[in-house]
Chain A
């Protein structure tokens, strides 16, 4: 795989690892981001890894654009030979699927949807070949997800499910974006899951809502006191379906300052995963549940 380089104006270099999404491309992105960070090239001001690409922002008064381009190309070879392993963490995130708030919102924007007669869950289940929404939710919550990019708005994770390509959930975005999405909506567009960190516009299909804040500029939430954004690229997420009662309990515990997500450290190897996806995922879930 050879990366494609392009200048984004006079202050950015864009590096496309691959046109298509894959865990291999994602590992290419984060390992190159790491190589650029560790190289400490003068004039590099920000390094932004994304799903299958990365962006390097620089100050052209400090380093000439072509000089930086050469340095990045040299680092590509270094990162390509890097071990495809990651010391990371796995987080369990409760999700209230088919909740009343996203349901109310999706009904308000029905005329912007591909299938106005169905809910987003019913539509996604049907076009992905599931017998019904229960089977679809079970698949969504069964295998873990990689956080492959953080952004769009503050702290929003893009997530890629750790399953073989034929099992990937794929849905189009709304025909026209909504002007409203509840905060903490669990959504999906293309092959990516997301959690909306703030209320606002959005085009992803809406499947449910989590009671777990992931961005808190006021830093009142206990686990966000150290830093206001929860996710980092490379985090692994496992969703756990909860009903209304447990959702309300978690919200109440959160407000009392007593709730925190279950987080465990985890080691991930891309080669091991590709050899045995189901076995690797089972191992990750054992780690999560402390076995």
Chain B
């Protein structure tokens, strides 16, 4: 049981829910950028929520199946086609041995998740099948897929019917313009009051440099710093600090010009100040943002962050309920 990669797409990687426990040594969590879409995809085909699937960004791959399989595509609206015939998204469909799964052009969002019953059965490394490309770790040989690759499939843990679907209301669509909620903190005090205000007031745009490591934004006013004599070891630029750890979702602004939000393949630390952190509930959204998406950062406090987290968890419960077997 395997999948032959005929065309790899732009950057298609094997991802699951990630590899926690090694961030203190520079190995990030990795895993699906849109975790909710990965979980839904796995539930649709009867897998455990954390099974490994394919994450395709912007441009889908072309895959030939060597055996019958139950398949689904969730996340971005990247229309799946089976031997050229359109298939519904967020719905489990049957693929026969020899059939080819391909994709139309991206309509909305950025990352689609292709789950197959049984999961992509590459070896687990440090407890995860996720691909960390920068460290050449996990996935298929630590890299994005290439034409000619063969992806092994696992044994489906349970049989589920084809045609099951995630209700429309539970598929969180990618929004334009986007809003990302930020809890100020970390080195927020380094910014002047006017910079603190303009960061939240301005409309930013996702820059082309947006990947699994981080999303860069442009278009807002440059941020000014409170003058100080730089501490020993911090470096001379006012945006520098003594190299520290970087939280997932933290917003660093090198030189005060272009904010970067670190994501699942985050660099674990470095010497740029951070003004705060995107709340956990909004991390999935970032994974579905295309370059040039107008974006506002919205200031929230901890209670709002926790309420949003609960709301996200409740939505996942609804998906589980809708798809329970």
A and B co-occur in one complex: yes
Q: Are B277 and A8 in contact (CB under 8 A)?
A: yes
Assembled-state Cα–Cα distance A242/B231 (Å): 35
Question: Is B113's beta carbon under 8 Å from chain A?
Answer: no
Q: List 20 A-B contacts (CB under 8 A).
A: A7-B277, A8-B249, A9-B248, A14-B185, A22-B232, A46-B20, A50-B269, A51-B244, A52-B244, A60-B309, A61-B313, A151-B267, A154-B135, A158-B243, A172-B236, A173-B235, A192-B233, A217-B125, A217-B136, A228-B137
Known: A9-B247, A9-B278, A51-B243. 19 other contacts (CB 8 A): A8-B247, A9-B276, A9-B279, A12-B277, A20-B233, A48-B268, A50-B245, A52-B242, A53-B245, A55-B247, A61-B309, A150-B24, A154-B135, A173-B271, A189-B271, A198-B134, A217-B137, A229-B25, A233-B24
Instruction: Determine whether the beta carbon of B25 is less than 8 Å from that of A151.
Output: yes
Q: A215 within 8 Å of B by Cβ?
A: yes
Q: How many of chain A's residues have a CB under 8 angstroms from any CB in B?
A: 58
Bound Cα distance A86, B23 (Å): 22
Q: Is A241 an interface residue (CB 8 A)?
A: no
Chain A residues with Cβ below 8 Å from B20 are 45-46
User: Which residues of A lie under 8 Å from residue B188 when comparing CB positions?
Assistant: 6
Distance between A123 CB and nearest chain B CB, rounded to angstroms: 14
Interface membership of chain A positions 34-69, coded 1 if the CB is closer than 8 angstroms to chain B and 0 otherwise: 000000000001111111111101001100011000
Chain B residues near A54: list those with CB within 8 A.
Answer: 245
| Chain A min CB distance to B247 (Å) | 3
Give CA–CA (A57, B249) in the complex, Å: 12
Alpha-carbon distance between A153 and B27 when the two chains are bound, in angstroms = 7
Are A151's CB and B245's CB within 8 A?
A: yes
By the criterion CB–CB under 8 Å, are B234 and A10 in contact? no
Asked whether A16 is an interface residue with its Cβ less than 8 Å from the other chain, the reply is yes
The 9 nearest A-B residue pairs measured at CB: A21-B233, A8-B247, A9-B277, A55-B245, A20-B231, A151-B268, A151-B26, A154-B135, A12-B247
| CA distance in complex: A231, B276 (Å) | 29
Contact indicator B25/A10 (Cβ below 8 Å): no
For the complex, what is the distance from the CA of A215 to the CA of B137, rounded to whole Å?
A: 11
Residues of A150-208 contacting chain B, CB below 8 A: 150-156, 158, 160, 165, 170, 172-173, 189-192, 197-198, 200
In the complex the two chains form, is A14's CB within 8 Å of B247's CB? yes
Known contacts being A20-B242, A48-B245, A190-B233, is A11 close to B280, with CB within 8 Å? yes
Given the interface contacts A7-B183, A154-B25, does A192 sit within 8 Å of B243 by beta carbon? Answer: yes
Docked Cα-Cα span, A181 to B190, in Å, equals 31
Highest count of chain B CB atoms <10 Å: which of A47, A54, A151, A160: A151
Interchain CA distance A281-B245 in the complex, whole Å: 28
Partner of A155, one of B23, B26, B309: B26
Query: Would you call B186 an interface residue if the criterion is a C-beta within 8 Å of the partner chain's C-beta atoms?
Result: yes
Complex Cα distance A93/B279, Å? 42
Which of chain B's residues have a CB closer than 8 A to the CB of A22? 232
Residues of B in contact, count (CB < 8 Å): 51
B111-144 vs A, Cβ < 8 Å mask (1 yes, 0 no): 0000000000000010000001011110000100
A236 at interface, CB cutoff 8 A = no
* B23 surroundings in chain A (CB, below 8 A): 46, 48, 57, 151
Most B C-beta atoms less than 10 A away, residue of A8, A20, A233: A8
Residue of A nearest to B228 (CB): A19
A149 to B235, CA, bound (A): 17
Query: Is B136 touching A151 in the complex (CB atoms < 8 A)?
Result: no
Q: How far is the CB of A275 from chain B (nearest CB, A)?
A: 21
**Contact indicator A19/B231 (Cβ below 8 Å):** yes
B29-72: which residues lie under 8 A (CB-CB) from chain A? none
Task: Give chain B residues whose Cβ lies under 8 Å from the Cβ of A12.
Answer: 247-248, 250, 277
Q: Is the CB of A11 within 8 A of B244?
A: no
In the complex, chain B residues whose CB is within 8 Å of the CB of A154: 25-27, 132, 134-135, 137
Q: Are A10 and B302 in touch, CB under 8 angstroms?
A: yes
- Closest chain B residue to A230, Cβ basis: B25
Of residues B23, B186, B274, which shows the largest number of chain A Cβ atoms within 10 Å of its Cβ? Answer: B186
Distance between B311 CB and nearest chain A CB, rounded to angstroms: 13
Asked if residues A172 and B235 are in contact (CB atoms below 8 Å), the reply is yes
The reply on B15 being an interface residue by CB < 8 A is no
Contact residues of B between 121 and 173, Cβ < 8 Å to A: 125, 132, 134-137, 142
Q: Mark B185-223, 1 if CB is under 8 A from A, else 0.
A: 110100000000000000000000000000000000000
Tell me the nearest residue of chain B to A6, going by C-beta.
Answer: B185
A154 to B137, CA, bound (A): 10
Q: How far is the CA of A16 from the CA of B135 in the complex (A)?
A: 28
Whether B12 is near chain A, meaning CB under 8 Å from some CB there, is no
Task: Kindly state the separation between the CA atoms of A197 and B306 in the bound complex, as whole angstroms.
Answer: 37
Task: Please provide the chain B residues from 256 to 277 with a CB less than 8 Å away from any CB of chain A in the complex.
Answer: 267-271, 274, 276-277
CA distance A200 to B103 in the complex (A): 32
A-chain residues with CB within 8 Å of residue B277 when the two chains form the complex: 7-9, 12
Q: Within 8 Å of chain A (Cβ to Cβ): is B73?
A: no
CA distance A66 to B236 in the complex (A): 34
Residue of B nearest to A154 (CB): B135
Q: Which residues does chain A contribute within 8 Å of B132, judged by CB atoms?
A: 154
Return B250 CB to nearest CB of chain A, in Å.
6
Write out, one digit per residue, whether chain B residues 271-306 have a CB within 8 A of any chain A CB (1) or not (0): 100101111100000000000000000000010011
Q: A6: which B residues are within 8 A, CB to CB?
A: 185-186, 188
Is residue B240 contacting chain A, with contact meaning CB distance below 8 A?
yes
Complex alpha-carbon distance, A14 and B246, angstroms: 9
- Say whether A217 contacts B183, CB under 8 Å: no
- Within 8 Å CB of B136, what residues of A? 198, 217
